[in-house]
Amino acid sequence: MRIIAFMNQKGGVGKTTTTANLGAALAEAGKTVCLIDLDPQAHLTINYGVETTGGLPSLYEVLVDDKPIAEAMRRVSDKITLVPSSIDLAAAEIELVSIIGRETLLKRQLEASGFDYDFVLLDCPPSLGLLTINALSVATEVIIPMQPHFLALQGVGKLLQTVQLVNRRMNPHLRVTGIVLTMFDSNTKLSTEVVNDLCGFVDNAVGKNLPWSGARIFNTRIRRNIKLAESPSFGQDILRYEPSSNGAADYRALAKEVLEMTQSSGVVAPVAASVVVPPDAPPIMSQPATPATPSPSEPATTVQPDAAS
């Protein structure tokens, strides 16, 4: 079972679009997929047309009220199951502030459930708060969707510091699988410059003891496609809404890359093998990483590793 967290603290970069449509493409390839919506905006839930009204539990009840995660699961197709979010999840960080081990609530729920999917995809909120830490504590991999823009590039260093902190203190199996470029336009000079900077950064990490030392820039670029923007309003993924569109073709190609990595590298570690934080350990949220600062001698757009690298 591969548990992949899709994260980027910058909003609007295609995390939910990638989670929803990569999940659909993996299911089309015959894999069983569980999607977990950790974002209080519930865009992944909306993307699949799932309602969270009527008294049915959502991820909020799973984390705050300790309901079994199986009670919150909704089957949306033969191969896809969704754990929906709701706006109530926005209050979870405050309500859980006094709970010991709050950073691993999702991990414990998944361990207790005993279910087995080929892929569990976690749609993280656009922040590096408690909900994202819960995702990282149980994930085996991180995929970073990002636009090829200057500001999106600047946030990657801080994001990787968070991954490294979780890797050291909570989840030694956590690795950055790669970066997928979204809303990509090959005709712009900026896109080319960002790709070159990212490639240089990834190459520089090879052979080092870092969670992203084996990361890649996915060959598949998710092109701008209006059909990708339209499909959530119909409660459908792109493969159902417009299977012949560029968006559907791109996510099928991305799914193929992800599956090839499974066959070639066997990245998976069992959920139960993750390291549990001792009850008396200080919470990881109280140990923020120091932001990386670019070297004056390097271009301002270059992604910088943290000081530990």
Q: 152-199: per-residue pLDDT in tens?
A: 777 788 888 889 999 999 999 999 999 999 988 777 778 788 888 888
- Quick: pLDDT tens for 207-242: 888 888 888 999 999 998 899 999 999 999 999 999
Asked if pLDDT for residue 288 goes beyond 70, the answer is no
> What pLDDT was estimated at residue 308?
41
> What pLDDT was estimated at residue 21?
96
Q: Is the full-model pTM beyond 0.85?
A: no
> What pLDDT was estimated at residue 298?
38
- Mention every residue, 6+ apart, whose C-beta is less than 8 A from residue 260: none
Domains and CATH numbers, the chain: 2-286 (3.40.50.300)
pLDDT band at 262 (very low <50, low <70, confident <90, very high): low
What average pLDDT does range 131-138 have in this prediction? 93
Q: Which amino acid is at 66?
A: D
> What pLDDT was estimated at residue 213?
87
Rounded-to-integer distance, Cα 238 and Cα 251, Å: 9
- Mention every residue, 6+ apart, whose C-beta is less than 8 A from residue 100: 279
- Quick: pLDDT tens for 4-42: 999 988 888 889 999 999 999 999 999 999 999 999 999
> What does the mean pLDDT of the chain come to?
82
pLDDT band at 54 (very low <50, low <70, confident <90, very high): low
- Quick: pLDDT tens for 95-128: 988 888 899 999 999 999 888 899 999 999 988 8
Of the candidates 247, 15, 259, the one whose C-alpha atom is nearest the C-alpha of residue 119 is: 259
